[in-house]
Structure 1
Amino acid sequence: MKKLLAIVLSLCYCYLAMAQVGTWRNFLAYHYIQSICKAGDELFVLASNDLYQYNLNDQSITTYDKVNGLSDTHITYIAWNQKAKRLIAIYQNSNIDLIDTDGNIINISALYNKAMTEDKTITSISIDGVYAYLTTSFAIIKVNMQKAEIAETYTNNNPEYPRNLTPYQDDYDAYISTVSTLNPGGPAYNRFYESKFINGTLYTTGGYFLPAMPDNATPGTIQVYDGNDWMIYQEQISEITGYSYIDICCVDADPNDPEHVFAGGRCGLYEFQNGKLVTYYNKDNSILMGANDRGNQLGNDYVLVLGLKFDAKGNLWVLNSLGDGVSLLEYTTDKQWINHHNTKLTDDTSITVPGLSKMVIDSRGLLWFVNNNWQNPAVFCYDMNHDILLKYDQIINQDDVKYTSYAITSITEDKEGNMWVGTDVGPFMIQKSEIGQNKVTFYQIKVPRNDGTNYADYLLNGVSISSIAVDGGNRKWFGTNGAGVFLISADNIVEEANFTTENSNLLYNNVSSISINNMTGEVFFLSDNGLCSYQSNAVDPVQEMTKDNIHVYPNPVTPDFTGMVTITGLSYDADVKITTANGAIVAEGRSNGGMFNWDCCNKQGKRVASGVYMVITATSNGKKGTVAKIAVIK
């Protein structure tokens, strides 16, 4: 053992501060303080419908979420029961958690799981002895907080129906001055819609707008996460511009200056520098136009900018929906506007279609976007160099099956150059070989049933896709409307995972956007219930494997470590072998993008003995790679 420790100390390794593969993180807001409950020397704080705990003695803060034990999201009420020594937390969906000051959590799901036509929403709490009385429209629910069970349900016609309950009084007034100085971290708001990873930084927006759909008039929100801290962009913008600052639904950062950011929404285009507004563009100071409503051009409260994208040169491409004579615009690096309007972007009345959005530039330099509107759903491909626009609005697959889609929600490129399109009837692929043609096939992957027949099913056929992201291993992550997230293998055949709120720490089954930090493999899921992430086992590959870019962690592997050893800095689909010092192979496989994981077990599934193990790599075509070492202490 002494010899092994000496070897370990002599090795020089680089440890990357990355989470273990398979772990989840929640990024919840604790900005708006709603309720405070004193529990001895502790304060439980309900803020932005999330929960944290503050110790009055040592000033420590503990945040609660699904990752560390909560059963659900969006808490509406909390109350402390001194007799039972527990806090009751009521969720919007009528789920119930009981929490003590040590962080132990017990779930009471009977009301949440009960199938009934009546409204189960809990509207108030009363505390009496060890009991909590929960008021709903159909009954009062009596919860024994000591035994963690529902003790009784009193309907209105029950002679014992409690009629003089005293609503629970929290400690908000006594402690708001203290709590208002605390900083539990996290974003300011739980509203998230679109996101992009740019140079390791996550840019998010919190609004959504589509003509003829209900407008929530969501306050303008841009929240940026650099991996450690959150930056909230300037919010009091309507006071400066004189127009509403709402429904911000797209954002992009200047490739030459990541602090130079543009965002679009219902009321126009906004330019920021270091999080502060620089210029507001509308119909009065640019070629942007107000939305056309039945022949009338609206004012600056409806200058619809629902999509934008910087090109590699730093020119900004802007989509202006429902305009008359404008649609696709370019704002150049020398601050000149160029109109690239095309009649293919208009409807039967020659007005630009309503939902131009989701701009991406592929590896060929082609600009792609969609019309996410039920009247004229379509995919567009624009050659910026030759001013050629192609429109694809007939979804016909390779078997001549024609689909009627009412929503085309997303488009992205995979590692092989194919374009993936998300719709309300499932995902489709435009093959690399057809890109640039006037007519393309909306190809559907056929997944064999493997049941002894030759039958196959179309991949995720009928599943409403809301977002698509491709990781470093060319696996596809599909966000959906109602079915959570699907992870599909690089060959598009195997469903590797289906994360839902029921089987994982996903916050919401409606996922509006997925973004991947391909330097770390962390996958971020955005929704109206907040932001969460999952540490995947794939990162972007490197072009050439060298000693300097191969990293192994943790290293050394200590006896108490039970996770996966992670190896990064690999080329795409690299061949990886783990051997003993004398060359015996204990594990082998292929990298996911630029990452390989090892469970410290041999081929028989047994944990390996203490020692130094070699990581021997080669490229996918057999070219020799590099060698690294892993020290395992059993």
Structure 2
Amino acid sequence: MKKLIVALLLCIIQHTLCIAQIGTWRNYLAYDDIQQIQAAGNYLFVRASNALYQYNKQDQSIVTYDKTNGLNDTDITQIRWCQQAKRLIIVYQNSNIDLIDTEGNVTNISALYNKIMTGDKTVSSIRIDGVYAYLICGFGIVKMNVQRAEIADIYTPTQPNYPQILPDEDNSDYDKYIDLVKTLKPGGPKYNSMGTLKFINNRLYTCNGDLNGTPASLQRLENDKWTVFGDESIKNTTGVEYLGLVCIEEDPTDKEHIFAGGRNGLYEFKNGKFLKFYNHKNSPIESVFSTIDPEYEFVTGLLFDPQGNLLVMNSESHTHCILKLKNNGEWLSFNHPELLKYNGIGLPNLSQLMYDHQGLIWFVNNNWTLPALYCYQSENDAIKAYENLVNQDGTTINAQDGVRCVAEDAEHNIWVGSSGGPFMLERKEINNNGGVFTQVKVPRNDGTDYADYLLAGIDIMCLAIDGGNRKWFGTNGNGVYLISSDNMKEIHHFTSENSKLLSNVVKSIAINPTTGEVFFGTDNGLCSYFSDATKPNTEMTKDNVWAYPNPVEPSYTGPITVTGLSFDADVKILSSNGVVINEGRSNGGTFVWDGCDKKGRRVNSGVYMVVTATNNGEKGTVCKIAVIR
């Protein structure tokens, strides 16, 4: 019977694709900056860019370790091999501790992390003495039995038994193996600074996202390969430091033509190579200061129009914040008093430019000076400023630290994230030229008629709308929220404590609409989550609707995904004799089946039909799933 099913399956499967299982987390960590090397027999453990990997000297294999495959935290500050216990000690920035052996088995020791104290728990070095490790902290010394994976004692300098003599810290492995380690390629990006993410044409662009002194870190991920755009040598051409990039755009007519803006101006790249730099010397871009300082010429927003002209936002400009670089190389500037409200010059952080479905351009001022939302009509050079942030109840929305981000949902409402929570400008309000915002009210469902504003008081750093019209909110300290398409239900609340999220500070979100992979740029690097929503198709055909995994092997217990569907499609799982086994509706272009019938029982071996219909009842298409038990 099983052979028959497999043979039948090979005849009906039309697509072969390897996609991560829904609910899977993935980390994209940098390993470029080699910090510590510890030899462990035939292995080397390497701490690089505050992450960890293991190298096998015999077969030259490399294994990276992170929260997705065993580690319990992020941002590693110390490692040390204990030979007698045959374990590597891993200490994190927050004083959490993991022990790992060469087989990848991890034991967590959270006692120091959980200990409430006023002293500094930061571990500055680790000394090994037999099975014991002495962790030198700001407040004193922690003695740990590595073999038994427990804290043996804690000493402070005032105690009479405070250790006066400890073994030396042996760092000889670094000098011995550094030349070898420099040749290793554990993968990953070059930088962990991921404050800005943008997904364009099946490629993820990243940069550091802050107008500060950190490296520009302009990178691109495509087919698991990272490309770095430019390095410190660009300074030799431009005369200014290459750092503080905050915005990225790809030319719609040439995907190898890239622009990036930041603290010191505008950068242009072609085929991965630096091409040109724009500042006050060759463009209308102006310096923050009246006495020109080329280190401070803020380009904080970029957006290509349909004609291939690049809209450029020059924050803190003295005369014009909106510029346009035409596709023929000509520059235009547009003066708007609405934007010159920061002591007579341009507002400090005009950013997050985006088109809506009508061709209107939206952007924000993400700064305390004047938290506001703006709508720009480029055809007639007109701006509508939403400075008075008042909700449907007549209450002023508390966004005093900044309006952070903006996005349009599938119903053409404009969503805004702010330091005081999310709110939206409904489609009817936009069409009527109104200015009243809506803060969604979520019923408490506690027997009262009370309701609370959605995520009120939570600092929303970024937001994205997925294929199912669900809202992803990244926050400053509260992790990530996923809110249902009707805005009434919290589907997920991911934190670094309850999930594989790298940090609760989430600066940027980008979504791969085809796979449903949701990328999170955090202050500890880049990670992602494979969600159950993808971009819907306008039409369902036998060529674009398919299921995976297929066949479903006996050992598989995860979700079975049907993809390529239209928005909110009706999906029925039928047995070979036409009985409805399960049914539901798609999230965007994806439907997830748990492999069970309506009563929660795992289905038997067989070939099951997936019958679909659009949300208005029009018949869709059929695909098949083979289940082997």
TM above 0.5, yes or no, is yes
Partner of 1:286: 283
Partner of 1:106: 107
Distance (Å, rounded) in 1 between the aligned partners of 2:432 and 2:333? 24
Task: Give the stretch that moved more between structures: 31-40 or 428-437.
Answer: 428-437
Aligned equivalent of 1:544, options 536, 539, 542: 539
2:572 and 2:610 in contact (8 A); partners too:
yes
Partner of 2:243: 246
Distance (Å, rounded) in 2 between the aligned partners of 1:15 and 1:553? 9
- 1:8 aligns to what SS in structure 2? helix
Distance (Å, rounded) in 2 between the aligned partners of 1:342 and 1:49? 45
**How far off is 1:241 after superposition?**
0.9
Distance (Å, rounded) in 1 between the aligned partners of 2:431 and 2:304? 21
2:342 and 2:348 in contact (8 A); partners too:
no
Give, as a single letter, the amino acid of the residue that structure 2 aligns with 1:258.
Answer: K
Partner of 2:159: 158
Give, as a single letter, the amino acid of the residue that structure 1 aligns with 2:556.
Answer: F
1:124 and 1:167 in contact (8 A); partners too:
no
2:194 and 2:207 in contact (8 A); partners too:
yes
Indicate the RMSD between aligned Cα atoms, in angstroms. Answer: 1.1
Give, as a single letter, the amino acid of the residue that structure 2 aligns with 1:196.
Answer: K
2:399 and 2:421 in contact (8 A); partners too:
no
Partner of 2:177: 175
2:398 and 2:419 in contact (8 A); partners too:
no
- 1:512 aligns to what SS in structure 2? strand
Segments ≥4 residues shifted beyond 4 Å: none
**How far off is 1:573 after superposition?**
0.2
- 1:256 aligns to what SS in structure 2? coil
2:220 corresponds to 1:224: yes
**How far off is 1:13 after superposition?**
2.9
Q: Please, which runs of 5 or more residues in structure 2 have no aligned partner?
A: none
**How far off is 1:350 after superposition?**
3.0
- 1:251 aligns to what SS in structure 2? strand
Distance (Å, rounded) in 2 between the aligned partners of 1:287 and 1:4? 68
User: Residues 167 and 227 from structure 1, CA distance in 2 versus in 1: closer, same or farther, beyond 3 angstroms?
Assistant: farther
Measured against aligned partners, the alpha-carbon deviations of 1:399-440 in whole angstroms (never above 9, x if no partner) come to: 001124221100011111100000011000000111155541
Measured against aligned partners, the alpha-carbon deviations of 1:44-101 in whole angstroms (never above 9, x if no partner) come to: 0111111000000000100000000111111111110110000001111111110100
Partner of 2:141: 140
Partner of 2:271: 274
Give, as a single letter, the amino acid of the residue that structure 1 aligns with 2:145.
Answer: N
Distance (Å, rounded) in 2 between the aligned partners of 1:366 and 1:411? 13
- 1:317 aligns to what SS in structure 2? strand
Distance (Å, rounded) in 1 between the aligned partners of 2:305 and 2:17? 31
Distance (Å, rounded) in 2 between the aligned partners of 1:547 and 1:297? 64
Aligned equivalent of 1:490, options 459, 467, 485: 485
TM-score by structure 1 length?
Answer: 0.97
Partner of 1:94: 95
**How far off is 1:5 after superposition?**
3.0
2:459 and 2:475 in contact (8 A); partners too:
yes
1:580 and 1:614 in contact (8 A); partners too:
yes
1:15 and 1:552 in contact (8 A); partners too:
no
**How far off is 1:298 after superposition?**
3.0
Distance (Å, rounded) in 2 between the aligned partners of 1:10 and 1:470? 37
Distance (Å, rounded) in 2 between the aligned partners of 1:374 and 1:250? 20
TM-score by structure 2 length?
Answer: 0.98
Partner of 1:31: 32
Distance (Å, rounded) in 2 between the aligned partners of 1:362 and 1:560? 46
**How far off is 1:300 after superposition?**
1.3
1:207 and 1:219 in contact (8 A); partners too:
no
- Which aligned pairs between 1:404-483 and structure 2 lie closer than 5 A? 404-406=398-400, 407-435=402-430, 437-483=432-478
**How far off is 1:351 after superposition?**
1.3
Aligned equivalent of 2:388, options 394, 409, 419: 394
2:563 corresponds to 1:568: yes
**How far off is 1:349 after superposition?**
4.1
- Percent identity, please: 54
Aligned equivalent of 1:325, options 319, 329, 343: 319
Partner of 1:257: 254
2:399 and 2:418 in contact (8 A); partners too:
yes
Give, as a single letter, the amino acid of the residue that structure 1 aligns with 2:373.
Answer: V
1:579 and 1:613 in contact (8 A); partners too:
yes
**How far off is 1:8 after superposition?**
2.1
- 2:32 aligns to what SS in structure 1? coil
Aligned length: 625
1:15 and 1:551 in contact (8 A); partners too:
no
2:366 corresponds to 1:372: yes
Partner of 2:586: 591
Aligned equivalent of 2:611, options 581, 593, 616: 616
Give, as a single letter, the amino acid of the residue that structure 1 aligns with 2:514.
Answer: M
- 1:411 aligns to what SS in structure 2? strand
**How far off is 1:287 after superposition?**
0.8
Give, as a single letter, the amino acid of the residue that structure 2 aligns with 1:206.
Answer: N
